[in-house]
Amino acid sequence: MSLPAVVELILSRLGLNSEQERENFLNPKYEDLNDPFLMKDLERAVIRIFEAIEGKEKIYIYADYDCDGIPSASLLYKFFEKLNYAHNVSVYLPDRHDEGYGLHLDAVEKIIQSGATLIITTDVGITAIDEVLFAQTNGVDVIVTDHHLPRQNLPENVQAGFGEGDTERVDDLPKAYAVVNPKQVLCKYPFKDLCGTGVAFTLIRGFLQKYGEYFKVGAGAEKWWLDLVAVATISDMVPLLGENRILAYWGMNVLRKTQNQGLRILFEKNNIKLYQISEDDIAFTLAPRINAASRMAHPNVALNVLISKDYGEAVKNVLELEDFNAKRKTVSATIMRKANVMAKLQELNKVLVIGEPDWHIGVLGIIAMKVGEQYKKSVMVWGRDPNGNIKGSARSFGDIHLAQYFTEFPENTFSAHGGHVKAGGFTVVPDAIYNLTDVAQTVYENHKPIIEVEQSTDLIIDTNLGSITHELYSGMKKLAPFGLANPKPIFRFAGVQVSGVKIFGKSKEHLELTVNDAGKKMSVISFFNASEPWVAGIYGKNITFTATLDESNFAGRTFYRLRLHNIE
């Protein structure tokens, strides 16, 4: 079957030019996943887990508190349920505010005191050198499963003959019983970009391949957990190509008929029909709720939703999560209004530095992201935690490498900081907060990123409203799920007349435009932009804008609408 010209163009943009490459992308096969035992230490980890079960050892799953860590913890817990061993397995998720990210010594001590003899980390642990050593020397084996980059020794420390094919880097790994991470230098697993849940799923695939028959687990049983893998893969913003494409594609199919009680109830609560679920429902409905648990309370609230088996218990857990998400939105909206006022006063600054002592630190990352998108600048947002520490979150608009940028501040500025290229966190020395805005500008002027800013991979296609047809959308659906490295195509419409303006939403924060072009009328939706200055005078004007294409289902009717990207 021939594909629409737009779809052909997108496939070419993705570098998929041969017939076989296009076939693999459009029709991913689960069987094309790599052999799990190619991953370094995976067989050693699998055997240790088997021995722990046979020896009736107590096992702890230790995971991060975000929308990759929580699904991965849920996945591993459900795996042990399938082996009839969940009664001897506990999950530890650190408190975002009191403990923060990572494997913590206090937590390891508690786990040791519980009598556990095996810790399996997921989405965390690759840099926990001291904590893993402490566990191992106290009789607790640690299997680290993670997808983050290990610590690295400098090239001059590379010993002659060390490594296979990589003489530029030597990993400084924790001395764990096993380290399962495709980003290790010596790992021969061909695909390196799995999220934490993807790595945990690979471990499970390996275990069931080796011991599934022994535990009377049927071949392919793990496929029912692909819903959790898809949730994490899409939420954690890993490239949706290669193996991630396979996992997300089939995971979305499983999600549309999920057996997970909590997920079914959560989507039903938000009026999302399972058979219509898209990656947008994960990104804009599910992921914010998973994250809301750790932002506003404790990540266990989200974990309980994902591992609930009893219907009544699942309903209770979902309602609790919804309450925390509603609180998150209320708190975020209040802070965002103040943030806008502060940002406008700093319009000449290269980096926006905003905050107040009473700003809830659980939502600072959300505020930084929204302010950055609105003002097209890098942003640092701070607040004060319950212990009186001044903590913040930052987002780069692409002009700075945040992890490097923080290292260039004077030594007496931060007591802690960390992050990646575009996102990071920091804790400010109390006296330094008064000059933080000015210091941030000075550091910016001298900042020279080591890593170049990533250029946009957006594909913008000039077209008109008449080209938006069922055939076009059906062709685009073959490219889904969309995400990082496989973005939704953006369409540009020129000289289109605005014939209607509608403000909607509980707080009147959303905008719907009706646009006409060559006799065709369509709706254009823009969320959280109703207060923009340009809205007041747009009625009746001819505009040029960019938008993505969405399918909407309402009252048994399916129609297409545009989601505003930008007005030129």
pLDDT of residue 156: 47
Neighbouring C-beta atoms of residue 149, cutoff 10 Å: 14
The domain segmentation of the chain, as residue ranges, is 32-233, 346-445, 460-567
Q: Where are the beta strands (DSSP E) in 388-445?
A: 390-395, 414-419, 423-428
Average pLDDT value for residue range 85-90: 98
Report the run of H or E that residue 560 belongs to, with start and end. Answer: strand 557-567
Tokens (6 digits) for 229: 């893998």
pTM for this structure?
0.89
Average pLDDT value for residue range 270-292: 94
The DSSP secondary-structure symbol of 98 reads T
pLDDT of residue 382: 97
The DSSP secondary-structure symbol of 217 reads P
pLDDT of residue 449: 66
Q: What one-character-per-residue DSSP string does 253-308 give? A: HHHTT---HHHHHHHHHTT--GGG--HHHIIIIIHHHHHHHHHHS-THHHHHHHH-
Report the run of H or E that residue 461 belongs to, with start and end. Answer: strand 460-463
Architecture of domain 460-567 in this structure: Beta Barrel (2.40)
Does domain 32-233 bear CATH number 3.40.50.920?
Answer: no
Residue 70 has pLDDT above 70, yes or no: yes
Can the peptide bond before residue 410 be classed as cis, meaning omega within 30 degrees of 0? no
Residue 1 has pLDDT above 60, yes or no: no
pLDDT (tens digit per residue) in 547-568: 999 888 766 677 889 999 989 8
Residue 97 CA to its chain's centroid (Å): 19
| Strand, helix or coil for residue 460 | strand
What's 319-352 look like in SS3?
A: HHHHHHHHHHHHHHHHHHHHHHHHHHHCCCCCEE
pLDDT (tens digit per residue) in 100-146: 888 999 999 999 999 999 999 999 999 899 999 999 999 999 999 99
Tokens (6 digits) for 450: 């080591």
d(CA 57, CA 51): 8
| Strand, helix or coil for residue 67 | coil
Neighbouring C-beta atoms of residue 213, cutoff 10 Å: 11
Residue 313 has pLDDT above 70, yes or no: yes
Residue 192 has pLDDT above 70, yes or no: yes
Does domain 346-445 bear CATH number 3.30.540.10?
Answer: no
Please provide residue 172's backbone torsions phi and psi, each rounded to the nearest 5 degrees: -100, 90
Burial group, residue 444, by CB count within 10 angstroms (0-12, 13-18, 19+): middle
Neighbouring C-beta atoms of residue 424, cutoff 10 Å: 24
Terminal Cα distance for the chain, rounded: 36
pLDDT of residue 558: 78
Note the helical H segments in 381-426: 402-407
| Strand, helix or coil for residue 311 | helix
pLDDT (tens digit per residue) in 417-472: 877 778 888 999 999 999 999 999 999 998 876 545 454 556 788 989 988 888 88
pLDDT of residue 118: 98
